[in-house]
Structure 1
């Protein structure tokens, strides 16, 4: 560039001093603009090459949420390894030390997590915590007495909308599985999106755009699942080993009946009651999860003649997983006469 400008000045000198001065002034302006352009381009390249924000989450669906909202601006670490049970996960000291180096920790809000979060705060008191369950009213878990008190007549009782009506009793503990509800996922996405804007305000426009796109996809998924389950005429109850699908069931006017109650394995009496209820209500399927033993599910399936269906609540691809679970579950429920 400099050689080209020098040649222009020399050529202008052949036309007299006045012309040479004008060309020199013009060349200086061009050169100045060129240097500004180089500096601006370098700054842009620096921003683009900046390290992504390190965010730590507990489970894979959270990683999916953060990546949809943050894109290339974030790098996400998941604490609970694939196949492990989040309810029994206990991070080792070195894991907590690594987590403490993150820019943000997104808390899921399950009781077991609350038990070790103070240890993380002790390592790094100023680590920003984003509570994914912020602004969500959680659903109480049903007790053993409540589940076994529900006779076929009460389970079939419907509301004015023609769907099963929920029973309201005193409960032990709150259901933490809020990510399995598309309706609640919309709120969780907003919470995470606001947090990203707060820690990285320079990219607020991009985060807000991504939030709008993701929420639209959540709404589309919710509408598709609603149509799938609206076609069911009668049977809306299904068995589960671990009561993970309560919010999903509530969203689409279904009823989950768990084998595991109050965090404990079923007793022999529990299994007898479940088998009887399965026959009385013509329940066609039991959902099993990769993180839990299928021993009791097999016993119930063999005694009742019902089918087993794998449904992973911790799958990474949250949208595809919920859509697949919904389609397969609706198919099982619709096959009952």
Structure 2
């Protein structure tokens, strides 16, 4: 069970008090940073994916503190005094955007006295919408305009935008482009290095995109059906023309509650559409996923072999970088569905 929102607020308040007592004048700010060196540009990144992008583009010049831990949900966060201190010292704060951090980011930013610039890495990404349920149609189309000007159709109050934009490598490239621009603006002396780092990493993202498309294309069309732990792979499904059957938690957030009727309905869908496997996620408990697969009589990919959905893995794991996590995901998906 996840902690109720009131408990999270109380924990955050406790952390703020602890920081105040410790004294906000200390200047370390590197308790959870990547340790890339002293005298570098101090920044904070919210999620594991965004932090990885920042470290690649800012390599050699950026000291990036990552707020969300590996294999943890980015939909909730409990600040530590060290986190708050680093936020207060940072020149840039990189966020995923699309509402992913809206439940928890404002309080620590305000409490830390952050006076730098917040960078929304999602600017320019064409968003998909839904009530936590995958929808096909115009939102699946790619776009070439990276200006960040979203049309009104993406902002109806009654619908939510899907924040899991990084699962389309083309959108990860847009995120990296936003990071590159922000780093150059904050540290123009190293513009050529940031540009070179971006160019090299963008080429790897392009290669990843082609590789995933090729491997999905090798599957029989009637096998390209995905059931995951929660609705985190919509952009992936749109980009590579998979069929979304359902999710154990049918919502963009992994904090949603699951009803018995929803479980029964998903089991029926899996049987009716002859889905071959149900995929767990590394940041979520596998118990319900295993139970649904068992009821449906299909294989389950859970535990250590789970997909990297909301979070990258810890250092040394198969998914400790964005590129490694996506390569692991495609191998796991293809091996289970072929």
Between the aligned partners of 2:106 and 2:47, the Cα distance in structure 1 is 19
Count of aligned pairs between the two proteins: 266
Query: Which has the higher Rg, Structure 1 or Structure 2?
Result: 1
Out of 258, 262, 265, the position equivalent to 2:247 is: 258
- Mean CA deviation greater in 184-193 or 79-88: 79-88
Unmatched runs of 5 consecutive residues or more in structure 1: 1-48, 151-169
2:330 matched to 1:320? no
Alignment-derived partner of residue 307 in structure 2: 311
* TM-score of the superposed pair, with normalisation by structure 2: 0.72
Report the more deviating stretch, 177-186 or 134-143.
Answer: 134-143
1:95, distance to aligned residue in structure 2 (A): 2.7
Residue 129 (structure 2) pairs with residue 140 (structure 1): yes
**CA RMSD across the alignment:** 2.5
Match of 2:182 among 188, 192, 195: 195
Q: How far is 1:251 from its partner?
A: 1.1
Q: 2:237 touches 2:243 (CA, 8 Å); kept in 1?
A: yes
Separation of aligned partners in 2, 1:183 and 1:106 = 19
Judged with a 3 Å threshold, the aligned counterparts in structure 2 of structure 1 residues 112 and 217 are, in CA distance, closer, same or farther, namely closer
Does the 8 Å contact 1:246/1:255 carry over to 2? no
2:60 maps to 1:72 = yes
* 2:42 corresponds to which of 50, 54, 60: 54
User: For residue 14 of structure 1, what is the aligned residue in structure 2?
Assistant: none
Counting only pairs closer than 5 Å after superposition, residues 271-286 of structure 1 correspond to structure 2 as 271-286=263-278
Measured after TM superposition, the shift of residue 173 of structure 1 is 1.1
SS in 1 for 2:308: coil
The CA deviation string for residues 3-60 of structure 1, in whole angstroms up to 9 with x for no partner, is: xxxxxxxxxxxxxxxxxxxxxxxxxxxxxxxxxxxxxxxxxxxxxx871111111122
How many Å apart are 1:229 and its aligned residue?
0.7
The alpha-carbon distance between structure 1 residues 323 and 295, as it changes in their structure 2 partners (threshold 3 A), is same
Alignment partners' CA distance in 1, 2:39 and 2:218: 49
Indicate the SS of the match to 1:129: strand
Shift, 1:255, TM fit: 2.7
Is residue 179 of structure 1 aligned with residue 166 of structure 2? yes
User: Which position in structure 2 is the counterpart of 1:207?
Assistant: 194
Counterpart Cα distance in 2 of 1:231 and 1:115: 40
Residue 92 (structure 1) shift: 4.5
CA contact under 8 A between 2:277 and 2:298: conserved in structure 1?
yes
For residues 254-294 of structure 1, give each alpha carbon's deviation from its aligned partner in whole angstroms, at most 9, with x where no partner exists: 13321212442321111111111111111111121122222
Is 1:226 aligned with 2:218? Answer: no
Matched, 1:217 2:217: no
Q: Structure 1 pair 128/181, CA: closer, same or farther in 2 (3 Å)?
A: same
TM-score of the aligned structures, taking structure 1 as reference length: 0.73
Aligned-partner Cα distance in 1 for 2:167–2:285? 21
Answer yes or no: is 1:108 the counterpart of 2:96: yes
Aligned to 2:279, what secondary structure does the other structure show? Answer: strand
With over 3 angstroms needed to count, the CA separation of the structure-2 counterparts of 1:326 and 1:142, relative to structure 1, is: farther
Q: Distance in 2 between matches of 1:260 and 1:134?
A: 27
Rounded to whole Å, the distance in 1 between the matches of 2:193 and 2:86 is: 28
Counterparts of 1:37-48 in structure 2 under 5 Å? Answer: none
Segments of structure 2 that go 5 or more residues without pairing to the other structure are 1-36, 137-155, 313-319
